[in-house]
């Protein structure tokens, strides 16, 4: 039986708001050099600024390779503070840290930094709120405030890299190794800025963070034309498709974008990406008790993905305030896994890092008060991670 739910409208066009201040990360290298020249400095100062920025240096006093008389002007014009940390919350013995950021216009977004043995991953946001209206997702129920600029998105990853380098996460100094676009917002609905962010993540220092393409994951609820556009870009980043139902009848309700692009079209687009890259894509599937966890739906999903370059990442539903839904019980999870594997589909179950601080998948909504303002990514003035085993059942 398909649940009956009240639905928010889909929103593709972000509300128009004042642009953030100009930032080096929003500019091409040539544009940055031209901007520095306009300030009366040699163009190579732009490269020096980039080295400091992507190296996590924010204090002008530490930028000793810049002339003392020019530091404040260069930093003020090209490295303005776009993300102000409101608070950090920790979980998992300090190995998970959720940060609430206030943007220039008062909008609020969150990112989550997670440390694992041998790697560290940051989950970043691409929008304030989300227009995709998925009823089981806290962010989706907020509505869309606005798109983030490339510099606002990049800044979350840069801050995470600096936090790791400075030993701010339990375990001592380390290196940021992975970035996942699984925070607030639908990344492919903010395509141009996400694409620019990808360049910054993948470009070697000093003009980027120098991550490997396999270390970056772009998640989408299924904007099929944008998946095809990403395919044409020639990148080899990891693609994750938030499917959550194998049949159109249920998915129309759980993932309203399905009313535009049906399951078959979304999977066809993902298959084309896999064919070009030679890499399997991830199918994200939130297991919701008595909604989409029935054995027959596991069989449907198995038939849909059998023989494809796809991997299913099952996510026991994380609780959100006011939701009547719950995660599937462990026996149902195991049955779902077993049926998918019987169909020859690689399957794992995602770790629920940060659940107690509302930092797990589907929970990012900054749901309490900040300075008396409900922090649900609405401005105060007139808007995951690699898988782990379920018991001994995990895939490599």
> Cβ distance 386 to 115 under 8 Å?
no
Model pTM? 0.88
Can you tell me which residue has the tokens 């993540």?
201
| The pLDDT value given to residue 393 | 29
| The pLDDT value given to residue 359 | 43
- Among 233, 361, 385, 389, the one annotated catalytic: 361
Q: For the chain, which residues score pLDDT lower than 50? A: 4, 6, 354-355, 357-364, 366-396
Strands (E), 52-140: 84-91, 96-102, 108-116, 119-123, 127-130
Q: Is the peptide bond before 57 cis (omega within 30 degrees of 0)?
A: no
| The pLDDT value given to residue 318 | 78
Determine the longest span between alpha carbons in the chain, in angstroms: 69
- Among 110, 186, 284, 385, the one annotated catalytic: 110
| The pLDDT value given to residue 352 | 62
| The pLDDT value given to residue 220 | 98
Which residues, in sequence order, are CB contacts of 393 under 8 Å at separation 6+? 334, 337, 348, 349
Q: Is 393 a catalytic residue?
A: no
Instruction: Give the CA count within 13 Å in the CB-facing half-sphere of 142.
Output: 32
Q: Is 123 a catalytic residue?
A: no
Report all structural domains of the chain as residue ranges with CATH numbers, in order of start: 22-80 (1.10.150.530), 82-371 (3.20.20.70)
């Amino acid at each position: 039986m398909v649940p009956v739910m009240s639905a928010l409208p889909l929103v593709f066009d972000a509300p128009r708001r004042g642009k953030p201040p100009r930032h080096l990360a929003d500019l091409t290298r040539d544009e940055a050099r031209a901007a520095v020249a306009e300030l009366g400095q040699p163009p190579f100062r732009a490269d020096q600024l980039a080295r400091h920025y992507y190296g996590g240096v924010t204090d002008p006093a530490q930028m000793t390779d810049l002339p003392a008389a020019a530091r404040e002007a260069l930093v003020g014009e090209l490295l303005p503070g776009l993300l102000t940390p409101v608070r950090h919350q920790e979980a998992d013995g300090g190995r998970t840290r959720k940060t609430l950021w206030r943007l220039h216009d008062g909008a609020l977004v969150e990112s989550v930094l997670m440390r694992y043995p041998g790697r560290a991953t940051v989950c970043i946001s691409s929008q304030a709120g989300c227009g995709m209206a998925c009823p089981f997702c806290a962010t989706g129920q907020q509505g869309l405030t606005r798109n983030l600029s490339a510099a606002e998105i990049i800044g979350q990853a840069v801050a995470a890299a600096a936090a790791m380098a400075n030993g701010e996460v339990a375990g001592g100094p380390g290196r940021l190794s992975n970035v996942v676009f699984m925070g607030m917002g639908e990344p492919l609905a903010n395509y141009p800025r996400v694409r620019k962010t990808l360049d910054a993540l993948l470009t070697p220092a000093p003009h980027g963070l120098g991550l490997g393409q396999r270390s970056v994951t772009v998640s989408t609820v299924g904007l099929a034309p944008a998946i095809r556009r990403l395919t044409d870009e020639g990148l080899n980043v990891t693609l994750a498709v938030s499917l959550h139902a194998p049949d159109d009848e249920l998915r129309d309700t759980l993932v309203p974008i399905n009313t535009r692009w049906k399951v078959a079209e979304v999977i066809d687009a993902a298959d084309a990406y896999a064919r070009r890259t030679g890499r399997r894509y991830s199918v994200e599937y939130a297991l919701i008790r008595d909604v989409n966890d029935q054995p027959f739906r596991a069989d449907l999903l198995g038939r849909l993905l059998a023989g494809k370059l796809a991997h299913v990442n099952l996510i026991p539903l994380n609780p959100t305030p006011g939701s009547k839904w719950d995660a599937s019980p462990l026996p149902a999870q195991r049955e779902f896994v077993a049926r998918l594997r019987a169909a020859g589909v690689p399957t794992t179950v995602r770790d629920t890092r940060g659940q107690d601080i509302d930092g797990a998948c589907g929970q990012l909504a900054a749901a309490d008060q900040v300075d008396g303002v409900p922090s649900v990514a609405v401005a105060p003035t007139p808007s995951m991670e690699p898988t782990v085993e379920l018991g001994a059942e995990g895939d490599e």
